[in-house]
Amino acid sequence: MSDLILELKDLSHSYDGKEISLNNITLTVNKAERVSILGPSGSGKSTLLRLIAGLEKPYSGTIAIQGKIVSSINQMVAPEKRNVGLVVQEKALFPHLTVQKNIGFGIRKNQDRSKIISDLLSLFKIEHLSNKYPHEISGGEQQRAALARSMAPDPELLMLDEPFSALDKKLKEELYAELNQIFKEREQTIVLVTHDLDEAKVLSEKQVNLENT
Amino acid sequence: MLPFSLLIIFCAPIFIVLSSLFGGYSDNWVHLYNYVLADYVSSTFFLISGVSVLVFFIGTITAWIVTNYDFYGKSFFEWSLILPLSIPPYILAYTFTGLFDPFGDANNLIRSIFNLGSDVSIFPNVRNIYGAIVVFSFTLYPYVYLVSRSAFLNQSKSMKESARLLGLSEIGVFFRLSLPIIRPAAIGGMMLVIMETLSDFGAVDHFAIQTFTTGIFRTWQGMYDLQTAMQLASLLLLVVGLFFILERSSRNKAAFTSNDSSFRPENEIRLPSMKSFWAFLICFIPLFIGFILPITELIFWAFESESSFINKKFIQTSFNSVSLAIISGLVTAFLALIINFSIRFKPGAIIKRLSSLLSIGYAVPGLILAVGMVQLFIYIDNNFLDSTRIVLTGSIFGLLLAYIIKTYALANSSIESGYERITSSMDDSSKLLGSTGWGMLARVHLPLLKTSFLTATLLVMSEVVKELPATLILRPFNFETLAVSTYIYAAEERMFQAASPAIAIVLIGLIPIFFLSKMIRSSNKSG
């Protein structure tokens, strides 16, 4: 199998069919590679992740995941069939489910469900929060839970959309160290969107400025 | 497709009523036009003018006092001032005449205390338009109170302090600053009160006031002229439509009054004992007239009644009302859920517009809806179903449909506000984790919308149990609900027997009020 996980070719996007929000993006990401997308506000960083996740349709160009075209003008593979994960800055945990149930949400048919949940709880050091609801835990703990939830289905590609921007500096630094270790151990392919160059350097090997692509 | 089909069904009775304007005009219309239409217009106009002024004062002043001052009973009044919403105007009208008629309980009590002769009547006659103004104002002022309270809570402390530094007294701040700022919101509440007043049939009928609704009912049930009744209904519908548009536009203008819902104003000013007493009294009077007085009178009647409070007939009518309420509540809440779910995934101006049009039924008086539906059902029965007998006309189905059309807006607003709290990131996460479409509705939306769904169901149930004119006209033969039973007993002046169904209506109406007041109390704690 090829090492190529993600391939974007001449990808453009427009919300209204008139103004172009992303113009001719070409990018490749290999297995276990960690890539950061940088760029000023409004440059279309988050839109790019939503396009890869299948939450937006491209205006032109193609997106291929593991060599298979998943988005083009004529073709759209549903988000749940792309085997990608997405963690966003805002709180996207389901407020009616405990941390444990949030993590297990995407793997309900998996026979190893309990083991996966407990492994991830331990990996992200949130075992003690397993029966808590999102509103009962801190912002940093919520982001750990959100990361664990997105990694539970073992996605080929994990996308992070400024996931730490709401956290304080000390908490961020703690998380960076832990996440680097987790991502390396699991050989997790990452696409990180951030406006923070330091964060990009710590968490990824390759930085792409959206203005220069 | 669903919103479009529903829109056709929801609007059909309204179009049928309006289409009567282009049909032939009978002698009855000529008679009404020449002799009574002017009375209908003038008394309706006088009634809504009086009610508007009174509810504006009661609603805004009580809201101002409870949001700005600390006085004895403040935390109790904050939520209890909405209790009169559980009393339909027609029930307050029945208890008013029971109390204040020359031989009513209040006059009898005064006479017995002061040993006065039976020809002495202390209280003025309430069976007139002034009595009706009082009745509507004291049951409907909570609409203005609720929006005004919320708007006052959002007014900033620094703004009021600047006004004081610029020379305004406390009262000056109220009249020259706070009141003008909340005016659009309060006017929006007032428009709702006017629409409710225009829709009423029970209270004005009891007081024998000639308004549009009593005129429509008499033209149809007395003259047996459905066409003329529809023509009268069309005129009323146009007036209601005007207030509906005014309410919508006030709602848009009111946006600036509520910039931040979590904002709490300054520490309340602690009132000295004498002023505290006046604040208590100002808040107590509307609660007393709109809730305590009618409840006390109803309980008194229930004890005085010779027949058992809970008899076979009461159980049957309660069962009828509650079953209709539960079915309508669940169906309406479910429809609102499905429509809002569709809007979320097919966002577009057309579907949103269609959905907001579905709420039009709330503004249409129950009597007009019933008139339109009867005409529609007669047409369907004669042309599409068995023309030798009636199938839809006078059926439970027709009644349920009218309730759903009338209450859809209530369910929709509750579900819509519930959906506003579900972020699009949650939808995205759900999609990426494999729950899409109905799966997302069942696993993510429905659990999160539990409270909204329950609130929607309860609001619809409470409205259905109270609804009188539509039930009176559309019910199957010999089928009685609590509202119909109360109306019939009251029309026969059998007030003691009217007590048990009336109390049941109030108790059911109290359920959503209880939830609403709980929300008010918890918003105070969190603030």
Tell me if B340 sits within 8 A of B359, measured CB to CB.
no
What CA–CA distance (Å, rounded) separates B360 from B468? 19
Tokens of A182: 């987790």
Which of A84, A94, A96 is opposite residue B432, by nearest beta carbon?
Answer: A84
The DSSP-derived string for B157-178 is HHHHHHHHHTT--HHHHIIIII
> Collapsing DSSP states into helix, strand and coil, what is residue A23?
strand
Scan residues 397-426 of B and list those with Cβ closer than 8 Å to A. 423, 425-426
Lowest mean pLDDT among A132-141, A161-170, A173-182, B156-165: B156-165
**For residue B303, what pLDDT is reported?**
83
What CA–CA distance (Å, rounded) separates B67 from B491? 42
What's the one-letter identity of residue B313? K
Query: Is the model's pLDDT at B445 over the cut of 60?
Result: yes
**For residue B522, what pLDDT is reported?**
66
Mean pLDDT, range A142-166, rounded to an integer = 88
Mean pLDDT, range B328-339, rounded to an integer = 94
A153 to B434: CB separation less than 8 angstroms, yes or no:
yes
Of B357, B374, B377, nearest to B366 (Cα)? B374
What CA–CA distance (Å, rounded) separates B189 from B101? 32
**Structure-derived torsion over alpha carbons of residues B348, B353, B358, B361, reported in degrees to the nearest 10:** 170
**For residue B464, what pLDDT is reported?**
93
Q: Find all residues with CB under 8 Å of B48, minimum gap 6, and list them.
A: B194, B197, B198
What CA–CA distance (Å, rounded) separates A55 from A86? 11
Which of A54, A84, A94 is opposite residue B426, by nearest beta carbon?
Answer: A94
A92 to B444: CB separation less than 8 angstroms, yes or no:
no
Q: Which chain B residues are closer than 8 Å to A78 by Cβ?
A: 431, 436
Query: Is the model's pLDDT at B210 over the cut of 70?
Result: yes
**For residue A132, what pLDDT is reported?**
92
CA angle B344, B347, B351 (to 5 degrees): 100
pLDDT digits 0-9 by tens, B115-152:
888 777 888 888 999 999 999 999 999 989 988 888 88
Q: How far is B442 from chain A (nearest CA, A)?
A: 13
Mutation target among B421, B426, B430, B432 for the A interface, most CBs of A within 10 A: B432
- Identify the band that residue B284 occupies on the pLDDT scale cut at 50, 70 and 90: very high
Scan residues 266-325 of B and list those with Cβ closer than 8 Å to A. none
Q: Which chain B residues are closer than 8 Å to A52 by Cβ?
A: none
Which of B433, B436, B450 is opposite residue A153, by nearest beta carbon?
Answer: B433
Query: Is the model's pLDDT at A212 over the cut of 60?
Result: no
What CA–CA distance (Å, rounded) separates A138 from A167? 10
Mean pLDDT, range A154-177, rounded to an integer = 84
C-alpha distances in angstroms, A103 versus A97, A149, B245, B253?
9, 4, 48, 44
CATH 3.40.50.300 in chain A: give the residue spans: 1-83+157-213
Query: Is the model's pLDDT at B478 over the cut of 70?
Result: yes
Query: Is the model's pLDDT at A8 over the cut of 50?
Result: yes
Query: Is the model's pLDDT at B312 over the cut of 90?
Result: no
- Strands (E) across B160-252 are located at none
Query: Is the model's pLDDT at B372 over the cut of 70?
Result: yes
Query: Is the model's pLDDT at B258 over the cut of 50?
Result: no
Instruction: With both helix axes pointing from N to C terminus, report the angle between B179-199 and B142-153 in degrees, rounded to the nearest 10.
Output: 160
Where is mean pLDDT largest: A158-172, B48-62, B213-227? Answer: B48-62
Q: Which chain B residues are closer than 8 Å to A80 by Cβ?
A: 431-436
Neighbours of B157 (CB within 10 A): 12
- Identify the band that residue B34 occupies on the pLDDT scale cut at 50, 70 and 90: confident
Q: How far is B519 from chain A (nearest CA, A)?
A: 19
**For residue B259, what pLDDT is reported?**
42
**For residue B265, what pLDDT is reported?**
46
Higher confidence at residue B137 or residue B219? Answer: B137
Mean pLDDT of chain B: 85
Buried b (16+ CB within 10 A) or exposed e, B335-368: bbbebbbbbeeeeeeebeebbeebbbbbbbbbbb
- Minimum Cα–Cα distance from B428: chain A residue: A55
**For residue B254, what pLDDT is reported?**
58
Query: Is the model's pLDDT at A187 over the cut of 50?
Result: yes
**For residue A34, what pLDDT is reported?**
93
**Structure-derived torsion over alpha carbons of residues B108, B113, B115, B120, reported in degrees to the nearest 10:** -40
Query: Is the model's pLDDT at A192 over the cut of 70?
Result: yes
Query: Is the model's pLDDT at B388 over the cut of 80?
Result: no
Tokens of A136: 């009962």
Q: How far is B343 from chain A (nearest CA, A)?
A: 17
Tokens of B332: 């309406």
Which CATH fold topology does B2-526 show? MetI-like fold (1.10.3720)
**For residue B260, what pLDDT is reported?**
41
A105 to B430: CB separation less than 8 angstroms, yes or no:
yes
pLDDT digits 0-9 by tens, A47-103:
899 899 888 889 999 999 999 999 998 888 888 888 898 888 776 788 778 999 989
Mean pLDDT, range B69-81, rounded to an integer = 90
What CA–CA distance (Å, rounded) separates B146 from B78? 10
Mean pLDDT of chain A: 87
Tell me if B204 sits within 8 A of B213, measured CB to CB.
yes
B434 touches chain A (CB under 8 A): yes
Higher confidence at residue B337 or residue B380? Answer: B337
Query: Is the model's pLDDT at A168 over the cut of 70?
Result: yes
Please state which CATH number belongs to domain A1-83+157-213: 3.40.50.300
Of A106, A8, A132, nearest to A60 (Cα)? A8
**For residue B128, what pLDDT is reported?**
92
User: How buried is residue A12: exposed, middle or buried, by Cβ count under 10 Å (0-12/13-18/19+)?
Assistant: middle
What's the one-letter identity of residue B200? D
**For residue B527, what pLDDT is reported?**
41
Where is mean pLDDT largest: A24-38, B26-40, B107-121, B240-254? Answer: A24-38
Query: Is the model's pLDDT at A173 over the cut of 70?
Result: yes
B49 touches chain A (CB under 8 A): no
